[in-house]
Amino acid sequence: MAVWTDASSLATGVVLESADGDVIEDACWLRHNEATHINMAELDAANRGVNLAVAWGARTIDLRTDSATVHRWLDDAISGRARLRTKAHGELMIRRRVGIILSAGR
């Protein structure tokens, strides 16, 4: 199952796509706190997308995000190549969310 995620200054969104290319479900959420950095919003969108896919019983998840930062965080966590490093104030929150996504995908 492909999970497409995106975030903007207004909202986050998720689309679940079957192997045949059919849209299974789509959802969006307004962002309540504009102070949250866009990278955190992108990570939240990925988290919500993975959770939706798991709820649909997905055995394989192909996560698609346009955020190079989120891609790097997840890729490094999955491969174990590098420890998460960020200058962001919310480093602990980022680590926790990356861990949640990894545990949901296992």
CA distance 101 to 106: 9
Q: With contact defined as beta carbons under 8 Å apart, do 95 and 40 qualify?
A: no
Angle formed by the axes of helices 91-104 and 38-55, nearest 10°? 20
Per-residue pLDDT for 90 more than 80? no
* The pLDDT of residue 62: 95
pLDDT 10s digits, 45-70? 999 999 999 999 998 999 999 999 99
Q: For domain 2-104, give the CATH number.
A: 3.30.420.10
Measured distance CA(1)–CA(79) in Å, rounded: 21
pLDDT band at 35 (very low <50, low <70, confident <90, very high): low
Note the pLDDT tens digit of each residue in 6-31: 999 899 999 999 999 999 999 999 99
Q: How confident is the model at residue 77 (pLDDT cuts 50, 70, 90)?
A: confident
